[in-house]
């Protein structure tokens, strides 16, 4: 298995090269530009058979992806922040039409003020558009998740668009060692797309994108919800198959020193790696600290998370996005809803942090763990890392 030094963007571009999609439609935006820029060089050098479509906006990119996928092509794209926001009009159309488009999304703050650095506000704003969402802690996971995303999205029992995320600049532009599949192994794992219908099949005509009013709109939306809910089992099946091939284990989430933890954090993305360092440090001092690192945010694995956290007395949920006076950040409200009504639940608090790329320090995470020792005295909703 080849070992390479790659940034997160390079890792995702390498995965795309091995997947060799039929169509890529994209428009550049920082910090995701490199992914499609590198891939465009693969097209120019004849390393892939992809039809690369340089469009005039992200809205056009997703529109082109919808058309190509409806024609039966395997389709990929990449974007970030305002680019993802410009796609919002088309994202729920892709899921409603059950088109397995794959997106590399580099998490970046939503403007304004204008900011090009990491938080999760772009992805979280799209959480209810019917897209599967998979978060990556590092470049290795970005590569592995993107390879698996093809099989997940195209599974005949799923057929939902899927986005794989990395943290802007923290992962996208930082280099680390990753292990990749051989080209032949990657090609065998993803296989060929076998669409059930194609708008180009004139012998078997179909209608896509029809007007859908009070008569059937509700029923069709419930089908998307059912597909999202049922996708959990197939995400796990594909992860187990990937583990057999690579030795790298993936699940809906990772439990790190969690089974006997007395205090624990829940986190997404690169912050999980920083948290692991603090957990190890606290464990060496006799503190039973732990971490739940969520990998799959949509579909949200509520029952599984409730079970994993049931025996932890105190838990802090970290949100790298804000809901602006909602009942906590997006991840916190999901976790709290998952725990509601359960016989055994932890005490729970929320921290919003790291907006606009603000650094997350070891000291700040140590403070969060310390706060959990006095959780009864803490407000439910908190910030850390913000200057007062």
Phi/psi region, residue 321 (left: phi>0; alpha: psi -120 to 50; beta: rest), is beta
First CA to last CA distance, the chain:
49
Domains and their CATH numbers in the chain: 3-246 (3.40.50.970), 253-384 (3.40.50.920)
Q: Which one, of 69, 81, 242, lies nearest residue 161 by Cα?
A: 69
Q: What is the pLDDT of residues 301-336, one digit of tens each?
A: 999 999 999 999 999 999 999 999 999 999 999 999
What does the pLDDT look like over 114-169, one tens digit per residue? 999 999 999 999 999 999 999 999 999 999 999 999 999 999 999 999 999 999 99
Query: How far is Cα 192 from Cα 2, in angstroms, rounded to an integer?
Result: 23
Q: Determine if the pTM surpasses 0.75.
A: yes
The C-alpha atoms of residue 192 and residue 45 are separated, in whole angstroms, by 23
Angle at which helices 8-19 and 139-154 cross, to 10°: 30
300 neighbors 338 (Cβ within 8 angstroms): yes
For residues 156 and 187, the answer to whether their CB atoms sit within 8 Å is: no
Structure tokens at 324: 């602006």
Cβ neighbours of 235 (radius 10 Å): 25
In the structure, what pLDDT confidence band is assigned to residue 210 with cuts at 50, 70 and 90?
confident
Distance CA 273, CA 53 (A): 36
Question: Tokens for 379?
Answer: 């407000």
pLDDT at 388 over 90: no
Q: Which helix (H) or strand (E) holds 177?
A: strand 175-179
* Neighbouring C-alpha atoms within 13 Å toward the C-beta of 87: 34
3-state SS assignment for residue 148: helix
């Amino acid at each position: 298995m080849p070992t390479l030094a790659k940034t997160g963007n390079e890792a995702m571009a390498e995965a795309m090269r091995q997947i060799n999609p039929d169509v890529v439609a994209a428009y550049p935006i920082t910090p995701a530009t490199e992914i499609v820029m590198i891939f465009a060089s693969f097209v120019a050098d004849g390393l892939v058979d992809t039809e690369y479509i340089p469009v005039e906006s992200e809205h056009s990119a997703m529109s082109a992806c919808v058309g190509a996928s409806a024609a039966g092509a395997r389709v990929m794209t990449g974007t970030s922040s305002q680019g993802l926001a410009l796609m919002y009009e088309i994202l729920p159309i892709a899921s409603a039409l059950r088109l397995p488009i794959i997106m590399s999304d580099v998490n970046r703050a939503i403007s304004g003020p204008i900011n090009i650095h990491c938080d999760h506000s772009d992805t979280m704003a799209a959480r209810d558009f019917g897209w599967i969402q998979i978060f990556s802690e590092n470049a290795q996971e970005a590569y592995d998740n993107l390879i698996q995303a093809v099989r997940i999205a195209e599974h005949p029992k799923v057929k939902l668009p899927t986005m794989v995320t990395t943290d802007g600049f923290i992962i996208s532009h930082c280099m680390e060692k990753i292990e990749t599949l051989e080209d032949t192994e990657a090609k065998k794992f993803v296989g060929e797309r076998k669409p059930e219908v194609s708008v180009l099949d004139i012998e078997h005509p179909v209608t896509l994108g029809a007007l859908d009013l009070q008569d059937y709109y509700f029923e069709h939306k419930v089908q998307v919800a059912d597909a999202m809910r049922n996708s959990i089992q197939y995400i796990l099946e594909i992860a187990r198959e990937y583990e057999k091939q690579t030795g790298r284990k993936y699940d809906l989430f990772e439990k790190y020193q969690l089974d006997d933890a007395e205090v624990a954090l829940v986190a997404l993305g690169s912050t999980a790696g920083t948290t692991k360092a603090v957990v190890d440090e606290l464990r060496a001092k006799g503190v039973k600290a732990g971490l739940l690192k969520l990998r799959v945010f949509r579909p949200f694995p509520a029952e599984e998370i409730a079970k994993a956290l049931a025996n932890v007395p105190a838990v802090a949920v970290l949100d790298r996005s804000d809901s602006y006076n909602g009942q906590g950040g997006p991840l916190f409200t999901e976790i709290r809803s998952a725990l509601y009504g359960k016989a055994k639940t932890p005490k729970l608090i929320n921290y919003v942090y790291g907006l606009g790329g603000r650094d997350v320090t070891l000291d700040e995470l140590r403070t969060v763990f310390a706060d959990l020792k006095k959780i009864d005295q803490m407000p439910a909703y908190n910030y850390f890392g913000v200057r007062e």
